[in-house]
Chains A and B, each alone.
Chain A
Amino acid sequence: MKKCLVTGMPNVGKTCFVINFAEYMGVSELKFHVKQLAGYTSINSYSLPEAKRKLISVKENTTKEVQLIKLELPKGKTIKELHLIDSCGLSDGIHPDKEIRLAMARTLRLIRDTEFILHIIDIKNINKDKKDKDILFPIDRLILDYASLEKRYAILANKMDLSFAEMNFRILKKNLKDIIIIPISALYKEGFKEVKKMVLSYV
């Protein structure tokens, strides 16, 4: 059993990716293992449309719990289990909401403890105009700096369905040469083939 953490800034499509990737991998009923603060783990089951309706929204910080999905991946003749962990997004500065801060602290713990990190970057979150500024947002840069050296790490460039995405992706690729970047669209399940290939190589 291997663990894989999906992280990134708020509203980049982490939960959307997790749900749709699970669907892509052939899961018909989603069982979210949610770790409660008291210490026990509860299981929330959703059907796929229900999950999309309830868990994905356009507001920031929809996900506050640590949600875990068990995926079964065929490898050769055996089946390997992968735990895909969905976590609260990390935003810059000090968040005013205490509940969200707690959730972010949990994400920080997960980043420390998980061996494999999928970092989702919103393709529109890129500074391409100002040359003196870093192309990534500070939080993304922090995660990248740490995880790319210490962990198994890949960037998923999400929202590739947007019109200007191609250009931004080229800039991103140019600036981060030694890092795996996979273009995806979590909503339309594009690019999942490459993600699956990479995840399989880890498991």
Chain B
Amino acid sequence: MDFKERFTQDIIIEKFSLGEIPIAEAFNKLFKVDEINIGHSYERRVYREEKSLNLKPVDNIERSKEKNREEKEQLKNLLEEMDELIGLEEVKRIIKEYIAFIKVQKLRESYNLKTAPVVMHMIFKGNPGTGKTTMARIIGKIFKEIGYLKGGELIEVERADLVGEYIGHTAQKTKKVLERALGGVLFIDEAYSLARGGEKDFGKECIDTLVKGMEDYKDRLIIILAGYRNEMDYFLKTNPGLASRFAIQIDFPDYSLEELVQIAELMYKEREYILDEKSKHYIYRVLSELRNKELINGNARTVRNLVERSIRQHARRIIKLENISRNDLLYIRKEDLLGEEGKNEEMPCNRDAQCR
């Protein structure tokens, strides 16, 4: 018996002698009779279970039921939030699968059945703006709701936050980040950059620390590595242990044109603007043109920029009017997007300049 256990037992005995707890409670706490009994004699266990059921106060059960209901509602809301995201059907399917898996494991645990360890570290592969960060944020909340994570916060880091400047600095820095993220989701964007520097790069040290952290905090943390598909594949090849440690690898496919338009509509709807018929067709054209020029590969972020710029344009147009009606404030016209086109045509030039 170790010292600590003895000490706590002494406290319980002290409490008992002060008359704070009855002897049965002292006994149970001291010798953990309930725990010993599990799996011992079937009859005795049944007796215990019956007794413990009888002892439960009624309002306690009701309270826990209420709590359960609340939790379920929360989870439902979060799942709805996830379903509202456009596209990403495959991703949603996988997440729902794992939610069911964790729930079942918890239930099995409550019946003292064997459980498989649940490791939820993930890799998100996909182009920028395909919903990786958004998904990670929702995943954090969902897994908090089903009791896998404590906090459910998303901590977003990149190479600069993890890799230090001198030897030995990196491990410390990475460890600090890991500790900060405990109980939540650690989202490492552009994770492939950790392996890009070559042999002597400190990125390697960072990966080693991460791998260790993943093992140590298996059930207290979800680490999500995100990046472009090809680069991530290369990154996983550089460290043979990595691929096997991330059981869940999710591809975020590019958005199709229809989905992009849906996203744009949703964004306008969230901001309480309405596209009229003409502008709807026009936005279709703008987006398809952008796609054809391979400026966006299914990128929701560009769509957001487009939407926000058009809203600014709309404001500039509206302010010149003498009488501003409600409809004027509500409807986005083709002209607002038209201004866009001019700007969008500038973009390739910018890009070329950068390339040169």
Contact = CB atoms under 8 A, between A and B. Distances in A.
Interface residues of B, number: 23
Given A105-B14, A105-B17, A145-B44, A112 B23 contact: no
Interface in B17-40: 17-19, 21-24, 26-28, 30-31, 33, 36-37, 40
Given A92-B23, A142-B24, A108 B40 contact: no
A146 B28 CA distance: 9
B30 A112 contact: yes
Interface of chain B, main secondary structure: helix
Given A108-B26, A142-B24, A98 B31 contact: no
Given A92-B24, A149-B40, A101 B31 contact: no
Interface of B: 9, 13-14, 16-19, 21-24, 26-28, 30-31, 33, 36-37, 40-41, 44, 47
B21 A94 contact: yes
B33 A108 contact: no
Given A92-B24, A94-B22, A145-B44, A104 B16 contact: yes
A191 B322 CA distance: 112
Given A112-B31, A150-B31, A101 B36 contact: no
Contacts of A95: 19
Contacts of A101: 16-19
A123 B1 CA distance: 34
B16 A108 contact: yes
Contacts, number: 61
22 contacts: A92-B24, A93-B24, A94-B19, A94-B21, A96-B19, A101-B17, A101-B19, A102-B17, A105-B16, A108-B26, A109-B13, A112-B30, A112-B31, A134-B47, A138-B24, A139-B23, A143-B27, A146-B31, A149-B36, A150-B31, A150-B36, A178-B41
Contacts of A178: 41
A145 B24 CA distance: 12
A112 B9 contact: yes
Contacts of A105: 13-14, 16-17
A65 to B, nearest CB: 15
Interface of chain A, main secondary structure: helix
Contacts of A102: 17
A91 interface: yes
Nearest to B20: A94
Contacts of A145: 33, 36-37, 44
A36 B207 CA distance: 62
B320 to A, nearest CB: 83
A102 B19 CA distance: 9
A90 interface: yes
A150 B40 CA distance: 12
B9 A94 contact: no
B10 to A, nearest CB: 8
Nearest to B26: A108
Contacts of B40: 149
Contacts of B27: 108, 142-143, 146
Contacts of A143: 27
Given A142-B33, A143-B27, 10 more contacts: A93-B22, A93-B23, A94-B22, A98-B19, A105-B16, A108-B30, A138-B24, A146-B27, A146-B33, A150-B31
Q: Which 7 A-B pairs have the closest CB atoms?
A: A105-B17, A146-B31, A142-B27, A145-B33, A105-B13, A102-B17, A93-B22
A102 B13 CA distance: 9
